[in-house]
Amino acid sequence: MGVKARSPTGDKHPSGLRMMGVLWYTPIMSTAQKSHKVTVDIPQDVWESVRALADEHQRSFVKELVWALQEYVKRERRQTKRQD
């Protein structure tokens, strides 16, 4: 449990997020991407395999799925270019 800091308005923020009234952020936060929410039925064995990979890569299950899909799209595009 982290130390809590208060902003000038009295709002509580985890320490490290707000310092002297300035909200800290990474550049990725400034690039808004449109996203879509989906519901997917995943077989148990696939779920367990992806969950294990996510743990190894220190990512959430969802982030691991997004990464895997991005890699799949890149690979398919490279193969399509080679065939042309």
pLDDT number for residue 80: 86
Does the pTM exceed 0.75?
no
- 3-state class of 6 per DSSP? strand
β-bridge partners, 13: 5
Class for the domain spanning 34-84: mainly alpha
* % of the chain at pLDDT higher than 70: 62
β-bridge partners, 6: 12
Higher pLDDT residue, 37 or 21?
Answer: 37
Q: Calculate the dihedral angle through the C-alpha atoms of 6, 11, 12, 14, rounding to the nearest 10 degrees.
A: -80
